[in-house]
Structure 1
């Protein structure tokens, strides 16, 4: 007999080090990380994890710690769910005990057998894949390829571009449009399409399509980072979620394995296998073309042939099983779709229900409209966001939008042409709303033109009221017009007509690869007409044109929905310091007992890292790279002499980060024209005597990978190299300068943003106003002082977050070693040092800011001599 109460729930306790199923032998720090992560998931916490840990090899330990900690918790959680399901098996009250036990045994057997059947089927598929791996590269699918057109060229006239009737007392569209909701952010046409696809389209019902419970949604910035995560996931094997005591009783000696079920989600741009659509390149254009090819008025032979349908249910089931049989990244799914002749973008949706861990890039997680388009719920699931140091900026960027005067003028021309063409066929509200859109866009364009023609600064802020001063603008109801733009398909109809007219007039039409201008303008009008208190408008003059930007200043409310719906939210990164911004500006509303922060040290021994603050150069110039003092030629020349000596003391590769491209260019220009020694060598040539110099520029002619390969090749020749880079540039994030590539990291100055810029003035003003309103106690002077301190702290945090990212490029694994040199007297301030990661602070040489450069150079020489 199986005793379901004995030893089974004991398996749910927090696992010990050896029970996290780590593929290597984890360090103590990694075990602490996994245990803390497990507890946070179990207690439904919001947590921030900072961990620069690596393994003996170059594999980044943070990813494996996230995988092992979260999946161990998930399997334990599923075991508890399994036990509860068995325990809930009911019998009549008067049934004997053996009958109750028998019923529970049968419930256990039924669930276990279903799991076994799925696992055996997936195991067979994996074996098949391994035998036929070469075939997965075959671009020919099972479905007959058909020539795809850019639009429905069989249309005999332009009736297809006439707007549907839009006239009712409530200003809502009639018939199928009525009742459509726009709260999701999806256009009515997309909602209509998804509704239709529930029938013959991709939202088909598959066997065993029940949801498997709590999932882990893992998100990072780019698909390349997610592909690296998938590689790490392949290293991990997890025990079955069926409790071991039940497996022994039900299956005798036969072991029931359970593979990790992973799905990588992507956009149409990443997954489209229709060559006529994917070749368009631009994500917005691809999305619109995909929807166009599925419209009812599109001829059958012109529709996308890869869309899943009920007739393809077996193929969809096969795609699902292949997707789950082994850990596949986004490229693998695309190849699988091509091989099977089925759209992986739509075919992936049913796979969500069977997945344990789903990976997706930031935009697909952070936008509600994107999640709904994928049919992805976050309710009661676990959210893990990696590389989260840039999360707040990512949220702001996703919800910010820009438009230019030239785009506005083009859209006015297109709208006017459309309105004249269909003047007699535009009925009811359509005519009124099209006229309103033209007036609104014209008013915005007129104001931008006035700024462009004036002597106003090259950038500045704009008040919404300034954009809406044209004739009749005050009579526009912004909410109704916003709803009209979302529901009427105006942008698509106008763009379709423009495209149709061009193809009719041009014997050899060119495929469209840019975002249709009216879609772009509409994406700007929507936030403009529904401005939130967290957003601001700015202009920038750019080479004969002017750009208008709506910028989201506060990401709190846009992330709040995720925080409140998810079971737990984990932000992780190698360098998350300083953390106060997340606490104050992202999670300010979260109860303190639900919010935790964890900062772990590095796995390297303390003697493998040395950090110094260099406040003076070898010629005793004070290093003060403030905005007002950084152009001092004497200091720049002393910087060159000092870096030359640093290159002598530090072996192999040295990477120096400068505050901006413009400042690096200024420094290089001075070094190249200043004679530094008696043999008439320039300072640049003097530095090159120590190490060959490479430097980053805004417009490099080669790719970043080629540039880094060249840098590594030079170092391998034996003389090392000096790489001059920029904070926030191409090489400051996501690049591993491990071992010889980065024995030294130099940070020149503090890369504070330009506080005089209108954008940063607006950001700081917003933070100060928010802090002032939240400070409910104290005098007026106290509240103002607290507000100023909050703005200053936010400004410093932005700078130090960028610095910390650059510092984290060097030490990448257990046996690595390096020197960090912070070149600016301000790094000696306690408020700046407090914003460094803990593992840097503990290695920072005490009072190094007070020492002469010679003492620092001697210390660095000793450090590297001891490493030989």
Structure 2
């Protein structure tokens, strides 16, 4: 089992991870290299001078091979630098055999391409659903292609690194974050993994090997496809399916994708590998290399993995088993680093959760029925039978949702899996066989292709950019056929439609395979507090001695931070933003007056975070009302005397970039601005409000999830039942501990969101800011313990007498000293 380390560094996180992990890796490789030499010369019967000679000879042979590889990469690096300096020159020519990609697989009137291939469910009975519950979604043709490429993408006789060499897999949420990581990776250099020679004679020519960091960035077809016709589809599912279609054995040679690596492309694959490793490249750079050389970077990058020291990839490619299999990626005995890990549990749950609407189900029924009627006489036995089963199952689900919509039932609630499978004849469906049929038969691809060809495109109409309905329905049916114990079904009435959601409540088992296989798993984040959830819910099966947690303080001195809770407003109202009390117009008015007063003494930019878009809208409506005896003034006008007010909305009237640009201009050109945001919104993560952009962060209330929602009630019930099963002691003690576990999980979810917002300000060692938390609950020890350590260390005790006035005085003095 892997050792686990959870890091919570504040700043310079990427560089810290790079330096620590790659220093360890080079040291590990150096020791492994020495062990190889020792094992090669371990014959005790030989004289010592012969043993030493054998060691030196082996060392020289391996090193010279490394030197040759490094020299080749250095030459390519110089070539790339020359090309950058002469960017006006023409692009490199592609391979001669590259031909223009055809518009379509067949003639527009050729409907035979949409007929299902003959299917026999009895020929593959030895196959079993995967450990992930059969949700992998890979068809037989896809698996066959993967096996095909395992053999194709080999570089026999050229392997400078063995597949078993320990690597670092670095994973983050987005390619943008991975590109930033690549930028940090370019800044560092590390000693060679070749150990120093035992005597000075060999030092000059062997120990001075300059060993560059070898890195590859992996992405999906959508990120890396260079086939213009396929890339134009834009939608990920459509691109994946089109790519696979162009590789089928029945496709004419002149219609296949000409960028696909073939047996004749060994030289191009080596060229791609060397260019990919010559310098640290992000995902866009990898795509450009593929275009320049004329080879598919999606497939060619697979071969580069075994020559790399560090592999970067986004969450979905690592956390989803089917994605790892598609990449032929194994983390066994390697080091896995997951950045932005405060999102990890939600990310795993999101990857394995699916939502469909009643409208989508009805559309799917219409498409399936139309297809079945069209090809009724041309479909053979098994296909006809399974197609009828799919129609019955989807109809059963739609009928049940329509039944709920017609009742005076709550707007949302939970469902049993059996409820959706109560239609006529559905109980006779074999879930495993139907699940396998959906994955292997290409049904969704054939039906969608026929529907698309039947629809007459309008002039100037763009290709569709959303997932085809039947693919979406299939992604829901697969977990429905093989539900996991941690999965639950919920419905929600949404205006004129009904929404059905399969939700994963517990990510433990889906992440466990990575943990069990990896040499070490490191979770890192700038604000991961509170961290108890990771030990209790993600790594509950890991022995305590194998789970390490570290939290580091902030780089700023304590004098650069003022942090405090504010329990009462300038007009004397208690700040109680619980769901039941937060609608008080008197308190909301006092909140606005207090913020207006604070903005008088806080320079430049202030960012305020509210619990939800709905509550922010409610607050703005009240702030726009005239103040009693205020000569027509409003709360908003009081604030705007000192700060321009900007706010984000759910409708996204302005793009995030334009909103931030307007905010930046207001801060830089005047006395400042107040940006009203939402916890969990677009501005609460990944945005840095450093220096003048974030001299203060206001947190309004605690953004607890809706405890009345069916999903959260199920989550808490699941946590409590799990804690009860694994608890010890008397019956009453087990019940009390289970209840405490549910409450702690609920509070932690809220506080992780709060801590992310707090972390938007103070981004470097010389930065300074104030953190003000508006709510009496922030004054309780239980909530304060869930704040980041660097906040707790600077937290100012709340005063009972005129707390708002005392806060104004404190902030006035703080910022006066910084000016």
In structure 1, stretches of 5+ residues that fail to align are 1-42, 54-60
SS of corresponding position for 1:337: helix
Quote the residue 2:790 is aligned against. Answer: 839
CA change 1:850–1:435 in 2 (3 A) is farther
1:482 aligns with 2:435: yes
Rounded Cα–Cα distance in structure 1 between residues aligned with 2:674 and 2:24: 45
Rounded Cα–Cα distance in structure 2 between residues aligned with 1:239 and 1:380: 23
Give 1:256's match in structure 2, choosing from 200, 205, 209: 209
Quote the residue 1:23 is aligned against. Answer: none
Quote the residue 2:580 is aligned against. Answer: 628
Instruction: Give the alignment of 1:215-614 within 5 angstroms.
Output: 215-245=167-197, 248-252=200-204, 255-502=208-455, 511-614=463-566
Deviations 1:88-110 (A, max 9, x none): 11475543222222111111011
CA change 1:111–1:220 in 2 (3 A) is same
Question: Contact 1:49/1:598 (CA < 8 Å) preserved in 2?
Answer: yes
1:116 aligns with 2:74: no
Rounded Cα–Cα distance in structure 2 between residues aligned with 1:139 and 1:514: 33
The structural deviation recorded for 1:198 is 4.4
Quote the residue 1:186 is aligned against. Answer: 138
CA change 1:62–1:210 in 2 (3 A) is closer
Quote the residue 1:679 is aligned against. Answer: 631
Rounded Cα–Cα distance in structure 1 between residues aligned with 2:291 and 2:85: 13
The structural deviation recorded for 1:282 is 1.3
Rounded Cα–Cα distance in structure 2 between residues aligned with 1:507 and 1:162: 28
1:96 aligns with 2:47: yes
Instruction: Give the alignment of 1:713-724 within 5 angstroms.
Output: 713-724=665-676
Quote the residue 1:825 is aligned against. Answer: 776
Rounded Cα–Cα distance in structure 1 between residues aligned with 2:124 and 2:137: 17
Instruction: Answer with 667-676 or 116-125: which moved more.
Output: 667-676
Question: Contact 2:704/2:750 (CA < 8 Å) preserved in 1?
Answer: yes
1:649 aligns with 2:607: no
Rounded Cα–Cα distance in structure 1 between residues aligned with 2:155 and 2:127: 24
Relative to the length of structure 1, the TM-score reads 0.90
Question: Contact 2:626/2:632 (CA < 8 Å) preserved in 1?
Answer: no
SS of corresponding position for 1:725: strand
SS of corresponding position for 1:252: helix
Deviations 1:755-811 (A, max 9, x none): 001111111111111111111x22222211111111110010011000000001111
Rounded Cα–Cα distance in structure 2 between residues aligned with 1:247 and 1:688: 74
1:49 aligns with 2:7: yes
Rounded Cα–Cα distance in structure 2 between residues aligned with 1:483 and 1:139: 46
Rounded Cα–Cα distance in structure 2 between residues aligned with 1:816 and 1:628: 38
SS of corresponding position for 1:88: helix
CA change 1:66–1:597 in 2 (3 A) is same
Rounded Cα–Cα distance in structure 1 between residues aligned with 2:643 and 2:109: 70
CA change 1:355–1:819 in 2 (3 A) is same
SS of corresponding position for 1:821: strand
CA change 1:824–1:181 in 2 (3 A) is closer
The structural deviation recorded for 1:338 is 1.3
Instruction: Give the alignment of 1:709-788 within 5 angstroms.
Output: 709-775=661-727, 777-788=728-739
Instruction: Give the alignment of 1:685-700 within 5 angstroms.
Output: 685-700=637-652
Deviations 1:566-625 (A, max 9, x none): 000000011110011101000000011110000110011111111111100001000000
Give 1:855's match in structure 2, choosing from 806, 809, 814: 806
SS of corresponding position for 1:690: coil
Rounded Cα–Cα distance in structure 1 between residues aligned with 2:237 and 2:243: 10
Relative to the length of structure 2, the TM-score reads 0.95
Q: How many residues align?
A: 811
CA change 1:609–1:461 in 2 (3 A) is same
Rounded Cα–Cα distance in structure 1 between residues aligned with 2:662 and 2:716: 41
In structure 2, stretches of 5+ residues that fail to align are none
Quote the residue 1:40 is aligned against. Answer: none
Quote the residue 1:128 is aligned against. Answer: 79
Question: Contact 1:206/1:350 (CA < 8 Å) preserved in 2?
Answer: no
1:167 aligns with 2:120: yes
Rounded Cα–Cα distance in structure 1 between residues aligned with 2:711 and 2:725: 21
The structural deviation recorded for 1:148 is 3.0
Instruction: Answer with 335-344 or 359-368: which moved more.
Output: 335-344
The structural deviation recorded for 1:206 is 6.8
Question: Contact 2:607/2:698 (CA < 8 Å) preserved in 1?
Answer: yes
The structural deviation recorded for 1:647 is 0.4
RMSD between superposed Cα atoms in Å: 2.2
Question: Contact 2:2/2:515 (CA < 8 Å) preserved in 1?
Answer: no
Give 1:151's match in structure 2, choosing from 97, 104, 124: 104
CA change 1:819–1:167 in 2 (3 A) is same
CA change 1:336–1:155 in 2 (3 A) is same
